Structure formats: C-alpha cells, structure tokens
Chain A
C-alpha cells in the first residue's frame, strides 16, 4: 500500500519535506520496523492489565483509596454553578464550608438541597462577585469563609482557572470527558488526582532546598468527593498520624505578619457592594465562619482579629452571619488537621448552622419531620470509638 513500508528504512533514505525544497511533496513513507508487533502488543495488553490490577489493589489495600471517590474538577464545579442559577440556596466559599457541610443533612432538615459551589483554596469574595454579576441568581447565598483566605491581599487562588474557564466548561468534549471520568472513578480507586505518578513521585523531597515551596509543603489528599461536590474529610487523615501530621504542616501557609488594615477595609467594601447587588435583585447573602482548631485559630486571630474582619464585614454589608464561636453545638468538635471537621462532626456542624439559618432567614424553614438536633457527643464519641 502506498506510503506504508515493511521494515525500517536506512536513515539516509527517510526523506522529509526538509529535503525537498520548492516542490509538491509526495506521499510520505512510513516504515514499519520488522518486529513481531502482534505478539509484542498482546504481551503488553496482558502485562498492563496485570500491573493495573496490582496498582488498583495497592490503592485500596495500602493507600486507603476507594472507588466512588470522584475527583472534583472545573467541569464538575461549572456543572453545579449552572444549576445554582435556578436554585433557592447555593453555597460559596473555600474548603471549610465545603468540607463542613453535609448536603444530605441540610436536605433532611429543610427539604432543600443546596448547590455546592465552594472551591478549595479559593478566595470566596471572588466567587461572591460572580453571583453578584449574575442576573439570573435570585436565591439565598450561603458564604462560608476562612478569614485568611477571604481577606487575602490579592489573587483568587485555586479557583481562578475554574472561573476563567467557566464558559468553556460546557463544551461537548469537556462534558463527555467528565462523564466518562466519573464512571471510571465509581469503579476504580486508583484514579485519584492526588495519587497521580507526578504527584507522589517527588514526595521524597521533604524540604531539601530551603525557602522553596516543595512537594512536602503542598496539601496532599485530605478529602473524598461524592456526587454534587459533597466533600468529606478522608478518613485516613483522622486515623493516620503521618498523613495527619503532614496535613497540619501544610497549614504553615497561613503563618505571616498581621494583615494591613487597608486590605480588610477593601475586602469589606467590595463584599458589601456585592451583597447589595444580590439583594437588589431579590436575593440574599448570609455569612458563615466554620470552626478551626485552636492551633490554627491563634494564627488567624493574630493576623486578622475577628473585630477587624468578620465583625466589620457583617456590619458594613448589613448582613447576617453565623460564627462558629457563637454556636454552642459547634464547640470543641473534632478538627483532625486543625482546619476541617471530621466527617461525622461535619454533620453535627451542618445540623447546628442550618437550624440557626432557619431562624435568620424566612427562605429556609425546618421541616416538620426534621430529625432531632445533633450535639457534639454525636460525633466526638464516634470519632473516639473509631480511632480506638
């Protein structure tokens, strides 16, 4: 057949267009090296199948990964963001409200399943502004914030590309890719972006070069993600001392000098304007500040005291808010890596803040058949028991 040749050509005879200036280029020749390709390919198929099966076993048995833990992605976020336009309740924020909200519990209590559009490592103010700029959103926006993420001097953070590529995320190739990926992740545990080859291979570097932000400084896997972008803490963070210690180490990123007051003033002013615009369309915004462990809280308070951040934000935006400090049921919950609640305590915290929300806004009402309130004992004892 023209263009295909059995057996490798000597190098000198393998001409390219570079050797033929100023003329019509002929049909190129592709030479097929004389090797038993069918036998080689068959061997490769079985060998790769075997290796992949072994890798899957390793992922489940040694790494503690589970099938059904589906990665989050810009496409998955965009899918929820599009749903949020018509939703009565949507959530924005950073990883804390993402981990600390149990969507099932929310629905059991109110009959409404909120749309989760918070993004890890992201400035929630940028997300708030996307809702403020969206004429289609008229619902209740629950904004969960971690002070140092919300009042960051500049930058959107991890969610930057999510926002930038939002309009491209519904292209056919993006959607089919997401559906196939999800289907595979429901059946294969090893498909976890935190355990990609290039993610774990450099982890031998535990800070070999001073002052650089290396693999050990990165946040490794701390969550599991389920349908509807339901995040929960990965149970190995609750039980594995090494991973727990590493996760705590990663929050060194929060250390630093006190934030200059002008930054807080700027963030507060922009937030107030965004809230005003959402309200002008008939929507509303309520702020939530989930808990953090004392070890982290002391850093947060030193850099931005509540009086300069949270209190100013609510006062200027004339908005209602729920601070974890003010929720009796949210005290002394289990925060294994100091920043996010354990899986069971996330349900307790959700129960507490949703009940308070129903008192703050007529947009959310407790169902008559809502389950009874949860308390700290519902998660702390279970956590202790599971740890034992």
Chain B
C-alpha cells in the first residue's frame, strides 16, 4: 500500500477509528496497530510478511540471548547471527542477481562460459529499510548503547509500524520502542498538523514529483537512441534533483504526518538539503536517518577519524561506496556513492588546508551553488540505468554532443525549472531554520490558503498511484 493511494485513505481512516476508539485498552490498540501494519505490508505481496516475521523473531531472540550471555564470545556470536540472517535475506533478494551477473562476467573474462539458471526473484518492498531498522536493534544491544525492548509486542510493533516500514525514516528502537510504553493519543491540534504534513508530503509526491518533474526526466533519461544536448541534459538532471527530493522527502513528510496523527513522534529525514554548503553539510540534511545509520554502524566501526588520515579517508570511501550499493544492485549506484565519498574526502582535505577560512554571505551562496551543481552530477549516475546512458547525459551536460536532439518541450521545461528554482530557493533561505518555526510565524489565513491549494492540487492531479522511488531500495 502506498500513501498516495485511495486504498490508503480508507485504511488510514479505519486505523484512526480503531486507535481512538475508547473501548480498546492500550495493549489491544498496539495489537491493532501491528495487525494494520502487517496488512499494510501484505497489500503488496502477502508471502513477504514471512520475511518480516523472520527478521523480527531472529533479532528479538538474538538480543535476548546476547544479554544473557556470560562470555563476550557468545555475545558476538548472537550479534553475528542477527547480522548474517538479516544481510543474508537482503543479499539474496536484492543482490543475488547482481552478484550472479558479475560472477558470470568475471568467469567469461577468464574464458569460462557459465549459463546460470534464470534469477527471477521479486524484491520485497522496503527490505533495505526494515533490515537496517532491525539490525540497529541488535547492534545497539551488542554495543551496549541500549537495553533490549521490554516486551516482544513493543519490539514487533517497532519493526512493523507502518508509517516507517517500507521507506523510512529508518528508525532506531530507542526512538520508537519507548513511545509504545505509554498510551499515545494525539490532541486535536496535533492531528490537524499531522494532516497538514500528510498533505504537504502528498503534494510533493503526487503533484511535483510524479506530475510535473518525472515526465521531463523521462524525456531525456529514457530516450532511446537520441542524443541530449546541453540544455536538455541539465534541465532533465535538475528536474531529477527535484523529483528525487519531492518523492523521498514527500514520503518522509507523509510518514511523519501519519505517525503524528496517531500520537507518535518520528525523526526528521530531510533538512532543506539543497541549501547545503559542502557535502558533509549535505549529508547532515539528506536522508539523515540513513546517513547517521551508516556513520554509527559502518563508518565508526571502520575506524572513523580515530586512526589517522589514510584510515579516515578509507573509512569514508568504504562507507559511501556501500551506501551507494544500499540504494540498488547496480554499479551506477556504487559510482554515485563513490563520487560522494570523493567529494567528502576533498572537502575534508580542504577544511584541513584552509582551517581559518570563514565564508561571507557571497561565499556561502557560491559554495551552496557549487554543492548543488556537484550533487546534480552525482544524480546522473543515480538516475541512468547504465554507464552508457550516464555517459550520454554527462556528455550533453558538458556541451560535447555534436548533433544533439531537442528532447524536452518548452512548456514542461519551463514548469519544471520554475519548480526546481523554487525548491532550491526555499532550501537556501530556510537552511538555518525549520518548517515548524516558519509556520509558527505565518499568519493563519495564509496557512489556511496554502493548505487549501495544496490539497486541491492533489485532488485535481488525481495521482496515478505510482510507487515512491525509494520503495525499490
């Protein structure tokens, strides 16, 4: 089920009615929420609920046995069991075909011809998200950062809680499990603010990402046998920058709004990322829950910045390469991650070289623009399905296409550029504040007018129920 579907509206209305029904105990309401979450997930493909169960049960018991273990060796064994089971499932479903293809290619280059049986495995929706969420539970217990959850129901509900289940924000157990300890009932103003956030998220996804930006991106990135020129390549890539933000931030905002309506707090996942000045700033603003997960469970265990320059750069690069691969089983994603790793490394080196440098307003604007442009170059590898496709667009962006084909019509191009400019301008002006702080300063009449227009635009756009891009990750 996806937030931008009619089915979800009915589902959500029923969940709200059950959650606020006076005749259920808090324990029963949690069971209701868990059943609803399983239904939410099963609506895609019922058999994959088994994977959720396996992940839930294995990690619950791994953590339980970890705290009961007397010896460090046993604790490590249980932690490894959890890691192997979770990453094993992720590897099989998400990377099995990719690994097999690469094996066949390498074997072929060595003169060994191998024809494997067809790898026709369907990727379970959101497996990367809930795998990371459950892994953080056993890893936190192993690292003694937190204690195991007090009840199986609370833990199982943490894993399956439908607002974050399939596309994040990637929640840690310490963020959500304690919220299940006490009855959660949002006040009326909290519910209405939650609905406003849900509307904003749907507007971003349905109207901006799917309605206006995706067709412009597809006109170039999905063009068969045509050569994009400089204008088309840049416009399509900028449009994709807008699309991927509106798609993913739209999902996160909707999820936060839905959870808020139920009385739960979920963490920010985006902080006006295109207003970032530099790449470490970008990663503190873009997909915050993933970048912090990678930092806490990969970068720091790899040594972080505690073992000298060379080790730091290696840890940084390794983290970003794996972060790229997390997004998809394709070498283009690895290059995307690698480019970000390279940017971060260069930035780190420059910061060391120019320690006393304090940028003025003009420098901040210039550096923000430079960051945005360089991020856009990485998006080429993220969006293109092949290196050949990425090469074509990059060649176009560099103005090196000899006889380019005009691919994007003027009307959609103008609309897309207005939207992307608005996104970039908003991020730049709001980079040091929060949405909530700005809303608090906005007159109620203006808020009512904006909310009305956003909701009306969603209705008139009649979203076609296309899945969020990040569901595939």
Q: Residues of A at under 8 Å CB distance from B?
A: 1-4, 6-11, 14, 16-41, 43-44, 47-48, 51-52, 55, 155, 171-173, 176-177, 180-181, 184, 190-193, 196-198, 201-205, 207-215, 217
B83-99 interface mask toward A, CB cutoff 8 Å, 1 = contact, 0 = none? 00000000000000000
* Cβ A8 vs Cβ B439 within 8 A: yes
| Chain B 34-51 interface 0/1 with A at a Cβ cutoff of 8 Å (1 = within) | 000000001111100000
CB of B456 closer than 8 Å to a CB of A? yes
Closest beta carbon of chain A to B446's beta carbon, Å: 10
Q: Are A24 and B172 in contact (CB under 8 A)?
A: yes
Residue from the list B46, B174, B184, B295 in contact with A21, Cβ < 8 A: B295
Count of A-B contacts judged by CB separation below 8 Å: 238
Q: Which of the candidate stretches B332-340, B361-369, B401-409 sits at the interface with the other chain? A: B401-409
**Do the beta carbons of A208 and B265 come within 8 Å of each other?**
no
The 8 Å CB contact of B411, one of A14, A36, A205, is A205
| Closest A residue to B286 using CB positions | A18
A9 and B265 CA atoms in complex are apart in Å by 14
- Which residues of B lie under 8 Å from residue A7 when comparing CB positions? 440
- Chain B residues with CB under 8 Å of chain A are 1-2, 5-7, 10, 42-46, 140, 145-146, 172, 174-176, 178-179, 182, 184-186, 188-190, 192-193, 195-196, 207, 210-212, 215, 219, 224, 256, 260, 263-268, 271, 283-285, 288-289, 291-293, 295-296, 300, 405-415, 432-434, 436-437, 439-440, 442, 444, 447-448, 451-452, 455-457, 459-462, 464-465
Give the chain B neighbours of A198 by CB distance below 8 A: 207, 210-212, 215, 461
Which of B265, B405, B444 has a CB less than 8 Å from the CB of A4?
B265
CB-based contact A214/B410 at 8 Å: yes
Contact A28 B175 (CB under 8 A): yes
Known interface pairs A3-B179, A184-B6. Does A11 touch B211 (Cβ–Cβ under 8 Å)? no
Give Cα A201 to B289, complex, Å. Answer: 36
Q: Decide if A33 touches B439 in the complex (CB within 8 Å).
A: yes
Of A19, A22, A38, which is within 8 A of B192 by CB?
A38
A212 contacts B452, C-beta separation under 8 Å: no
CB distance from A342 to the nearest CB of B (A): 28
| Nearest 7 A/B pairs, CB to CB | A205-B411, A214-B409, A3-B265, A198-B211, A17-B292, A208-B410, A173-B43
**A37, B292: Cβ atoms under 8 Å?**
no
Which among B219, B260, B452 is the interface contact of A44 at CB below 8 angstroms? B452
A sample of 14 cross-chain residue pairs with beta-carbon separation below 8 angstroms, ordered by A number, consists of A1-B185, A4-B265, A8-B434, A9-B437, A11-B437, A17-B293, A17-B296, A23-B296, A37-B196, A40-B196, A40-B444, A55-B460, A201-B212, A209-B406
A375 smallest CB distance to B (angstroms) = 41
Judging by beta carbons under 8 Å apart, are A30 and B452 in contact? no
Could you tell me if B433 and A4 are in contact, using CB atoms closer than 8 angstroms?
Answer: no
Cα–Cα distance between A39 and B196 once the two chains are bound (Å): 12
B215 CB contacts on chain A under 8 angstroms: 198
- Contacts A32-B193, A197-B457 known; 8 new A-B pairs at CB < 8 A: A4-B265, A9-B437, A17-B293, A28-B267, A32-B436, A48-B452, A155-B224, A201-B415
For the complex formed, measure the closest distance between the CB of B176 and the CB atoms of chain A, giving whole angstroms.
Answer: 8
- Name the residue of chain B whose CB is nearest to the CB of A190: B460
Residues of B within 8 A of A213 (CB): 219, 409
Residue pair A25, B439 in contact (C-beta under 8 Å): no
Complex Cα spacing A26 to B145, Å: 11
Chain B residues with CB under 8 A of A190: 460
Contact between B6 and A172, CB atoms less than 8 A apart:
no
Closest residue to A201 on the B side, CB-wise?
B415
Pair B265/A27 contact, Cβ less than 8 Å:
yes
Provide the bound-state CA to CA distance between A181 and B464, in Å. 10
Knowing A2-B182, A44-B451, A177-B6, say if A38 contacts B189 (CB, 8 Å). yes
Residue on B nearest A75 in the bound complex, by CB: B465
Q: Is the CB of B271 within 8 A of A16?
A: yes
Contacts of A18 in B (CB 8 A): 283-285, 288, 291-292
Chain A contacts of B10 at CB under 8 A? 180
- Asked whether, in the complex, the Cβ of B406 is within 8 Å of the Cβ of A215, the reply is no
Q: A37-B196, A44-B452 are in contact. Are A205 and B289 (CB under 8 A)?
A: no
Given A14-B268, A37-B189, A197-B457, verify A203-B432 contact (CB < 8 Å). no
- When C-beta atoms are compared, the residue in chain A nearest to B430 turns out to be A11
> B456 touching A51 by the CB < 8 A rule?
yes
Collect the chain A residues with CB atoms within 8 Å of residue B439's CB.
Answer: 8, 33, 35
Choice from A11, A24, A28, A217 contacting B145 with Cβ under 8 Å = A24
* Chain A positions within 8 Å of B456 at CB level: 48, 51-52, 55
C-alpha gap A197/B412 in the complex (Å): 12
* A44 & B455 in contact (Cβ 8 Å cutoff): yes
Cβ-neighbour of B43 out of A1, A30, A55, A176 (below 8 A): A176
Q: Complex Cα distance A310/B243, Å? A: 45
**CB < 8 Å: which of A24, A33, A40, A171 contacts B45?**
A171
Question: How far apart are the CA atoms of A190 and B462 in the complex, in Å?
Answer: 9
User: A3 to chain B: which residues have CB within 8 Å?
Assistant: 179, 264-265
Nearest-neighbour CB distance to chain A for B209, whole angstroms, equals 10
**CB-based contact B460/A24 at 8 Å:** no
Contact A27 B175 (CB under 8 A): yes
Which of chain A's residues have a CB closer than 8 A to the CB of B464?
Answer: 193
B2 touches A173 (CB 8 A): yes
* A18-B284, A173-B2 known; A212-B406 Cβ under 8 A: yes
Closest beta carbon of chain B to A71's beta carbon, Å: 9
B192 near A37: Cβ-Cβ < 8 Å: yes
Write the nearest CB–CB distance from A4 to chain B, whole angstroms.
6
B196 contacts which chain A residues (CB < 8 A)? 37, 40-41
Q: Which residue of A lies closest to B266 (CB)?
A: A28
List, in ascending order, chain B residues with CB within 8 A of A197's CB: 207, 211, 457, 460-461
Q: Which of B175, B195, B409 has the most chain A CB atoms closer than 10 A to its own CB? A: B409
Measured CB to CB, the closest approach of chain B to A120, in angstroms, equals 16
Once A10-B437, A177-B6, A198-B207 are accepted as A-B contacts, the answer to whether A204 and B461 lie under 8 Å apart by CB is: no
Taking each of A24, A184, A191, A210, which has the highest tally of chain B beta carbons within 10 Å of its own beta carbon?
Answer: A24
Distance, CA A191 to CA B463, complexed state (A): 10
